[in-house]
Amino acid sequence: MFSLFKKKEFFSKEENEKIVAAIRNAEKCTSGEVRVFVESKCKFIDPLDRAIKIFSKLKMQNTQDRNAVLLYVALKHRKLAVYADSGIHEKVGDQFWKEVVNKILSHFSKENYAEGISQCIKEIGEALQENFPYNKDTNKNELPDEIIFGK
């Protein structure tokens, strides 16, 4: 069976590869985990509530050091949120997350979505590396690196 409707792609192949590469680079020097969830519309009034629900559904709270971070983006509704598990949030605090969101918004205002997401991931990776450095004896990739696409 085939569909007469082509599913809209959020990113070009190159943009998708750039974001996945940013995730892999961010995680290469830390035990922390970064995931990106992108959908068209946010059904919630507060995108942070949606991010929390997705974080839980993806079982991101099950990382060993509670140091997973979810970057949530609803492109058509122009909403985003960054949600971090308790391990990393306790280390960097609210102000860090607000700064990350403001920086990504500056890219989004110019419709540089893939660049904004990649830069955000880089900054999150640096914070994870500082607080949860890579240990060759214990580190493992606990979560997939691919972008998760909703509707």
pLDDT per residue as tens digits for the range 61-94: 999 999 999 999 999 998 999 999 999 999 999 9
Domain that holds residue 106: 13-131+144-149
Residue 27 lies in a domain: yes
135 vs 26: which has the higher pLDDT: 26
Is residue 4 included in any domain, yes or no?
no
Judge whether residue 135 has pLDDT over 90.
Answer: no
d(CA 146, CA 21): 9
Task: Please give the tally of structural domains in the chain.
Answer: 1
Does residue 36 fall inside a structural domain? yes
Q: pLDDT at residue 51 above 70?
A: yes
Residue 102 lies in a domain: yes
Is residue 137, in this structure, part of any structural domain at all? no
Please tell me the pTM assigned to this model: 0.92
CATH code: domain of residue 125:
3.10.310.50
Alpha carbons 20 and 65: distance in angstroms, whole number? 22
Which residue has tokens 């839980």? 56
pLDDT of residue 9: 78
Q: CB under 8 Å to 113, separation ≥6 — which residues?
A: 10, 11, 15, 73, 75, 107
Q: What is the dihedral of CA 131, 139, 98, 10, to 10 degrees?
A: 160
Evaluate if residue 129 carries a pLDDT over 70: yes
Tell me whether residue 138 is in a domain.
no
User: For residue 93, is it within any domain?
Assistant: yes
Is the confidence at residue 8, as pLDDT, over 80? no
pLDDT (tens digit per residue) in 136-145: 888 889 999 9
**Would you say residue 5 has pLDDT above 90?**
no
Q: Residue 6: inside a domain, yes or no?
A: no
Whether 108 contacts 101, CB under 8 Å: no
